[in-house]
Structure 1
Amino acid sequence: MILEAAVLQVKEGLAEAFERDFNLASAMISSMKGYQGHELQKCIEVSHKYLLLVRWETLEDHTEGFRQSKEYLTWKKYLHHYYDPFPTVEHFANVAIS
């Protein structure tokens, strides 16, 4: 399992609209091969900052399967205009479970 993580800085004043559109865009990502689940967390200290965590079966399910799909184009249309700056996406592999 691969964990995709991105800190999302949403433009001030757009958090409510972002959350609404994120819920719509979630249908795009959840339909993809290798998708195992996702969550969006809102920062307590900074009201327009979010943490997106997506679990994928493999790295390629995200980087090739989703990112090169027509669903990704719809995801971009719904969400990418909210970010400033544009987020860095990183991938993590589990090394320990407690």
Structure 2
Amino acid sequence: MITEVAILDVKPDLVGEFEPAFKKAQSIISSMDGYIEHQLQRCIENSSRYILIVQWQTLEAHTEGFRGSKQYQEWKVLLHHFYDPFPTVEHYEQVYLKE
């Protein structure tokens, strides 16, 4: 399992529009092959910053499957205009799990 972590800095004047747009867009990502689950969290100290955490079965499910899909084009139209700067996206794999 791979964890995608994206730091989303939303333009402050668009914060009120971002969450409803994300609510609509989340059905796109959750319909993709290799998707497991996701969560969107809002920063307490900076109300225009969010973190998106997505669990994928494989790295390729995200980088090739999702990003290479026509659905990703719809995702971009719905969400990419909210960000400044463009999100930093990193992928993580589990190293340790508490027993």
In which range does the TM-score fall when normalised by the shorter chain? over 0.9
- CA distance in structure 1 between the aligned counterparts of 2:45 and 2:39, rounded to whole angstroms: 18
Q: Does 2:23 align with 1:32? A: no
Q: 1:19-72 CA distances to partner (integer Å, 9 max, x unpaired)?
A: 000000001100000000000000000000000000000000000000000110
Cα distance in structure 1, aligned partners of 2:43 and 2:77: 24
* Aligned residue runs from structure 1 range 1-98, under 5 A: 1-98=1-98
Q: Secondary structure at the match of 1:14?
A: helix
Residue ranges of structure 1 left out of the alignment (5+ in a row): none
Which letter maps to 1:57? Q
Shift of residue 88, structure 1, vs aligned partner: 1.3
The CA RMSD measured in Å over matched residues stands at 0.5
Amino acid at match of 2:10: V
Shift of 1:81: 0.1
Aligned pairs, number:
98
Gaps of 5+ in 2: none
In 1: Cα distance, 2:55 partner to 2:15 partner: 23
Q: Distance in 1 between matches of 2:73 and 2:36?
A: 20
CA distance in 1, matches of 2:43, 2:70: 30
TM-score relative to the length of structure 2: 0.97
Q: Tell me which stretches of 4 or more aligned residues in structure 1 moved more than 4 Å.
A: none
Tell me the percent identity.
Answer: 57
